Amino acid sequence: MICGLEGVAFRYRGRSADALTDVDLTVSEGTHVALVGPNGAGKSTILRLLTGVLTPSVGRATMLGRDAAAWRRRDLARHVAVVSQGGEAEVPLTVRELVSMGRHPYLGAWSALTRGDHTIVDACIESVDLTALSACDIRELSGGELQRARLARALVQEPRILLLDEPTAHLDLGHEAGFMELVGQYTVTQGVTVVAVTHHLNVSARFADRMVLLASGRILKEGPPDEVLTPELLEAAFHWPVEVVDLGVLGRHAIAGTRDSVDGNV
């Protein structure tokens, strides 16, 4: 296990209900785990617990053999990188400046980037195919380009674990597939572990080794995509009729049905 949760419950301050209840999760090194489920199911909370931003009310969150919250941020950032939905689009930075900030956990207060740092930055920009745009202001990038730049920034941290919080939420079908393909390559070539929160069941069915289906703060089902993407489980989680189609090489695809196809018992 590279990271995980043991018997975790978590409640946000001032809330009357738990965001997570009795959650056990084990992430093995080198795998891609997708966290899926309806809004408010607790997916992003799990990422925050794994990064130590939040600490469990009950149970234990471990990251690389330690309590997740016990890590100094700087040490953690050398092992774990996070790509989320957005936030810095308005900041005037070039792509290269943004990506270089991924070296932050390796630098002293005054030291400049070394030649080694520059090599890593260039390699990561190249790997996300942004070399031609590296001098561009990030505010002028398209959504897909910006997310690739943010992925490059995360890769520059040389992480063993990549945590993705709906990184493709604003991307179209092609850019989303491209983004996930890139992440997938890293899992294969570098053995990077991926934990991804997503709403896109079909894409994660293709890229994830395991899926965790959450609903109302509990794990409904954990296992390979085939076992998780069943109409019964998805309907129970999303309260909406779902058809699942097996597309052979492309894996299983979940398709939300129309309400009149079942006896809507919401």
Minimum Å gap between C-beta 60 and another protein is 21
Among 72, 189, 258, 265, binds another protein (CB under 8 A): 72
CB of 262 to another protein, least distance (A): 37
Q: Residue 189, Cβ neighbours under 10 Å: how many?
A: 9
Q: Tell me how far, at minimum, the Cβ of 75 lies from another protein, in Å.
A: 8
User: Can residue 15 be called a binding residue for another protein (CB under 8 A)?
Assistant: no
User: Could you tell me the strand order of the sheet in which 161-165 lies?
Assistant: 80-83, 161-165, 193-197, 32-36, 210-215, 218-223
C-beta closer to another protein: residue 22 or 97: 97
CB of 153 to another protein, least distance (A): 8
Q: Report the distance separating Cα 206 and Cα 196, nearest Å.
A: 13
Is the Cβ–Cβ distance between 103 and 119 less than 8 Å? no
91 binds another protein (CB under 8 A): yes
- Residue 135 three-state SS: coil
- With residues binned 3-state (H G I as helix, E B as strand, rest as coil), the percentages for the chain, rounded to 5, are 40, 25, 35
Q: Which of 82, 155, 183, 192 binds another protein (CB under 8 A)?
A: 82
Candidate ranges 77-85, 121-129, 141-149, 173-181; the one touching another protein (CB under 8 A): 77-85
CA atoms within 13 Å, Cβ hemisphere of 13: 2
Segment interacting with another protein (CB under 8 A) among 23-31, 67-75, 128-136, 219-227: 67-75
- In the bound state with another protein, the residue whose beta carbon lies nearer, of 58 and 136, is 136
The residues, any chain, with a CB within 8 Å of residue 67's CB and separated by 6 or more, are 52, 60, 61
Q: Using CB under 8 A, which residues numbered 221 to 250 contact another protein? A: none
Q: What angle is formed at CA 79 by the lines to CA 77 and CA 82, rounded to 5 degrees? A: 60
Report the interface residues with another protein, using CB under 8 A: 51, 53, 72-78, 80-82, 84, 87-88, 90-93, 97, 101-102, 104-105, 107, 109-110, 157
